[in-house]
Structure 1
Amino acid sequence: MLLALQLGQSAGAQETQVWIGTGQILSGQGQGATVQLVLETGGGRIWSQSGPALDAPFSGEQISVTSSDGTWQIQPQGDQLVVTFYRGEQIIRWQLRPVGKVPTSSSPLPPASWRGETPQPLALPKRELVLPVLNLLRHP
């Protein structure tokens, strides 16, 4: 079983890091409200799975990126990403924490937003538990 698992992983396999956090609208429309953001990083890129559109090169260092939805500033701080988003008068700031790594192939598909698909929730592997059935009904 272990051998089959090792053979199933390609030498070029990468991992995608998922980042999730709740942020606050600091100014503009919706000021004071909280909003959630899900980003993924991997293969030298960063992209959004929820919230405003983002897809940009990312080396793990501070960046500023203008997307179709606004301007992003992303600052790694320890084990977090501090993300500030500017859209007109609106400013939103998040502190994102890593929630897990997902293996991807050596040639990952582009984010769902590129393909015009609705992002789907992250699927975790299922585990089955098999319990023996005991004969609980005994006749005297």
Structure 2
Amino acid sequence: MNIDLIYQDKFKFDYEKKLFEKYKNRIEALKEKKILNHFREAQCSNKKISEILKNKKKSDLFISLDETGKTFTSKEFSNLIFNNNFKKIVFFIGGTDGLTEMTLDQSDQILSLSKMTFTHSFAAIILLEQIYRS
């Protein structure tokens, strides 16, 4: 299974990037889980996201992170992403302005990590930690 992380912001601090890379490397070391693509900053324009949405296949699962989404336990999250036959899972994390309505509307699932607010970089790190834990 391939996992893509579409991240529309940048890490402001070196320690955030190091922690993100730590979990990314741990996930990639596992045979059954792999992050192939990690797009961020300029690569993640709304035009690029529109292109990704347009090319969605039936075997893909698109999950957007948004404060209005559903919260999952770690076990429920694991079941969502690994107990299905998806060939690719794409996670969308918005930038300062969040995700577009089009992205949210075309997502299969909208996920909230918490009722609390996190920086976008922390949301990306928490997401990777949960994928690794799964």
TM range (shorter): under 0.3
Look at both structures and tell me which one has the larger radius of gyration over its CA atoms.
1
Structure with bigger helix share is: 2
